[in-house]
Amino acid sequence: MTGTAPAGGLGAHVRRGLAWSALSTVTLRVGGFLVGIVLARVLGPSEFGVYAVALTVQAVLVTLADLGLSADLIRSHEPERLAPTVGLLSLVAGGVLTAGMVATAPLVATAMGSPQSAPVVAVLSTTLLLAGAGVVPYAALQRAFEQKKIFSIAVVDFVVGTAVTLGLLAAGWGAMALAIGRVAAQLVTLVLQFALTRTRPRFGLDRAVLRPTLLFGLPVAGANLLSWALLNVDNVVVARLLGSTALGFYVLAFNISNWPMSAIGQVVRSVALPAFAVQGRTRTHQGRSAGDDLSPAAGLAAAAALPAGVLLAALATPVVRVVYGDVWRPSVPVLAALGLFGAMRVLFDLFASYLLARGRSRAVLLVQVVWFVALVVGVVVGARGWGIAGAGWAHLVVALVVVLPAYVWALRGAGVPWRPLGRALVRPASTSALAGVAAGGLAHVVSPPAVSLVVGCVVGGAVYAALTLRWLRGAVAGLRRGTADVVPDPASEVAAPVGADPVTPGRTVAGAALGATGVAP
């Protein structure tokens, strides 16, 4: 894991990283949408269901594939020393998960009501081993803000996976084509990760770093698993209490609420962990407090996420009617709640990134545990009392009453004063609310739905811009001043140790940082 410190201040790296991440997010989402249309026409519901079962199993296990070790490499003062140990641990973890998934494929597939999916489960399990093998180069790319390389690898991954899948589908391979396409894409991604970082796999075991590495990483792995559970436990509750038809309305609303939030969240989380890690190392070396680093970043993240969530909630009725039709109107009250909740998820991602950069992985895990328990109770109570609308609003209530205070508590333990953080969020929150009132008010008096949607977006956006633009310029200028003197320190970009393979500067790509509710692989 070698390289040199990128030239320039931290702010420049963050801006470039955000730009490339935004391009990657938009490009790949549009491409995925178009390919999904093709697959829906080529595959029948039963074949796609077989793959969905396998993908569900893989999605659960992949949250554990790197044991949270990539985050430790991104934040570490000694990444070169940690790299061989992390490489070995993550490879072993990926191999064990692959072997376990292969061995239990028939039992798992049968338990999920799809025995015919067992071979697809077994083939898809290979991605867990490949994911584990790529942890070190992925962390290197993230650490060096190499979002351009990450974008390039993601595009190749998409092209290879799509080409292999469509080719095998044409040859009559059915659902197995999707699994083989995913494995082929993952293999090419792994090769590119090492090629672009100009490194070769190195494995070793340094007992001096083993215990602290695991003490940091295992809570992250647990939090990753809970993140996945948080996004799926409500589906289980709704299906059991209200039936499959109600679940369909609920899932539709949840998916719509993810549109802007997943895009904004992905862009933010792509640079948040390495940026906070660099700030922490630099501030510490300069003898300065790192406690205020989060507030300006949180204000800008809220300025992007809150208006999107508020407008989605205020315009829930025309959104559902225009995109899906009147038959889906029962989804409207759910979307109204989940739109607001989605905006908060972006902030929670940012808070978790900050805590991980400060080495507080156990605090992140504790927040996830509290969140999960509160959400299960809230969704059950909400669904029983108010149907799918109650289940949706349970997310928002739990986020406001339980999760937000829990994160404030955890952040105070990391040295973040709550008052500057609160002041940073007041302006985007208040102006978003006013924009939502204006947009929602017009949407109720203007028809037809398509016109109502357009007018609401334009008016709401205009109100928000008018009230926020001056503040936003000041916030951006303040963040630039605060990061102008922050440069990745030499200790964070060390050269290859004596005896290591000589390599030239460069980093690679891969995977995750923080997921939908706090953490992700």
Domain ends where: 385, 407, 427? 427
Q: Is 502 left (phi over 0), alpha (psi -120 to 50) or beta?
A: beta
Tell whether 255 and 141 lie within a shared domain.
Answer: no
**What is the domain range of residue 292?**
231-427
Tell whether 271 and 172 lie within a shared domain.
Answer: no
Answer whether residue 12 is part of any domain. Answer: yes
* Contact by Cβ (8 Å): 450, 395: no
Distance of CA 8 to the CA centre of its chain: 27
Amino acid in position 199: T
Domain ends where: 406, 427, 448? 427
288-301 tens-digit pLDDT: 454 557 888 888 88
Looking at every residue in the chain, the average pLDDT score rounds to: 80
Residue 2 has pLDDT above 60, yes or no: no
Residue 285 has pLDDT above 70, yes or no: no
Among all chains, which residue has been given the structure tokens 């109502």? Answer: 452
Tell whether 134 and 264 lie within a shared domain.
Answer: no
- C-alpha–C-alpha distance, residues 16 and 21, integer Å: 8
Instruction: Give the total number of structural domains in the chain.
Output: 2
DSSP string for 491-517: GGSPPPPTTSPP--S-------S--TT
419-460 tens-digit pLDDT: 888 888 999 999 999 999 999 998 888 888 999 999 999 999
Distance of CA 140 to the CA centre of its chain: 18
Q: What is the largest CA-CA distance in the chain?
A: 73
- C-alpha–C-alpha distance, residues 5 and 22, integer Å: 23
Banded pLDDT at 377 (limits 50, 70, 90): very high
Average pLDDT over residues 267-283: 74
Tell whether 89 and 205 lie within a shared domain.
Answer: yes
Tell whether 284 and 384 lie within a shared domain.
Answer: yes
Tell whether 65 and 144 lie within a shared domain.
Answer: yes
Tell whether 211 and 168 lie within a shared domain.
Answer: yes
Is residue 412 classed as helix, strand or coil in its secondary structure?
Answer: helix
**CB contact burial 229-253 (16+ within 10 A = b; e otherwise):** bbbebbeebbeebbeeebbbbbbbb
Helix-helix angle 418-445:449-483, to 10 degrees: 160
Residue 516 has pLDDT above 60, yes or no: no
Tell whether 15 and 157 lie within a shared domain.
Answer: yes
Instruction: Tell me the pTM.
Output: 0.77
Domain ends where: 387, 406, 427? 427
- The per-residue pLDDT for 497 is 32
Answer whether residue 514 is part of any domain. Answer: no
* Contact by Cβ (8 Å): 112, 56: yes
* Contact by Cβ (8 Å): 143, 135: no
Half-sphere exposure of 98 (CA within 13 A, CB side): 19
228-262 tens-digit pLDDT: 888 778 888 888 888 878 888 888 888 888 877 77
458-497 tens-digit pLDDT: 999 999 999 998 888 877 776 665 555 454 544 333 333 3
Residue 268 has pLDDT above 80, yes or no: no
- The per-residue pLDDT for 229 is 83
Tell me the two tokens of residue 15.
Answer: 């801006």
